[in-house]
Chain A
Amino acid sequence: MIRRQVVMPVSPERLWEALTEPDQIAGWFGGRVEWELDEGAPVHFQGDDGDERAGVIEAVRPARHLKFCWWPVGDDASEGASEVSYVLEPDEEGTRLTVQERPIEPHASALGGWSTWDSRLFSAWACTSPQLARR
């Protein structure tokens, strides 16, 4: 799992806009994200570098917390599904943002003889499977 914590010099509400509105996301994320902010809603990501991902929104608490799960849909399935979470907390200098991303399935190499298609199916299953998503 990776974890990063930074303080952004804006209010939680402004930071939330930057983190969740597709036009704002395009300004810093390195790609286009399409989503509706509803739990269970689909996520589509098209990276500037060609990386394409699908996903699902898992938790939405405006200006507080966002969690989504995503997995690659391109030809490069070497990376599996992972879960991303944003936590926003008011801070003297603005808003403290904690980003975490953790893998929720073995890497393609760990899947051994699985075909690319199998591992994509597995990613979708691992992401949407309630008992995994809830952990």
Chain B
Amino acid sequence: MPGAEPPDEPDAVDTVFAALADPTRRRLLDELSTHGPMTATELAAGYPVTRQAVVKHLGALSAAGLLDSHRLGREVRYGVVPDRLHDATAWMAEVGQRWDHRLEALHDHVGRMES
């Protein structure tokens, strides 16, 4: 598993959202945020899925730049890249809140149109 370079293609943030869309991947990310860097074998021990499936999910998270990996002997340890996650969630929170306000105002606005 190569070390995760921050992706620089135009849809990098999109890739983060796609990676986060899967509940197992969110749990893995949560686990790694809580416990720090772990190997796929350690992570798989806590899941009803195979080590192979965990490795695949870790690959998707790494491709999105959410995890980086370091080889330690025969095992690879995965850790969270906090900035990437922060970028994506901060964008969602900020833009989402802006739309919540707009849609509330739009609802009032169209109410006035009808009367």
- Report the bound CA distance from A18 to B110 in whole Å: 7
User: Interface residues of B, CB < 8 Å — how many?
Assistant: 32
Q: Are A104 and B113 in contact (CB under 8 A)?
A: no
Contact with A along B81-115 (1 / 0, CB 8 A): 00110010001100110111111011111111110
Residue in contact with A28 in the complex, picked from B11, B12, B102, CB distance below 8 Å = B102
Q: Are B13 and A4 in contact (CB under 8 A)?
A: no
Residue in contact with B110 in the complex, picked from A1, A8, A135, CB distance below 8 Å = A8
Minimum distance in angstroms from A18 CB to a CB of chain B: 5
B14 within 8 A of A: yes
Q: Are A9 and B100 in contact (CB under 8 A)?
A: no
B48 within 8 A of A: no
Decide yes or no: A18 and B109 within 8 Å by CB, A29-B102, A102-B14, A110-B8 being known contacts. Answer: yes
Q: Which residues of B contact A50 (CB under 8 A)?
A: none
B10 within 8 A of A: yes
Contacts from B to A (Cβ < 8 Å): 6-8, 10-14, 17, 83-84, 87, 91-92, 95-96, 98-103, 105-114
Contacts from A to B (Cβ < 8 Å): 1-2, 4, 6, 8-10, 14-15, 17-19, 24, 27-30, 79-80, 82, 97, 99, 101-107, 109-112, 126, 129, 132, 135
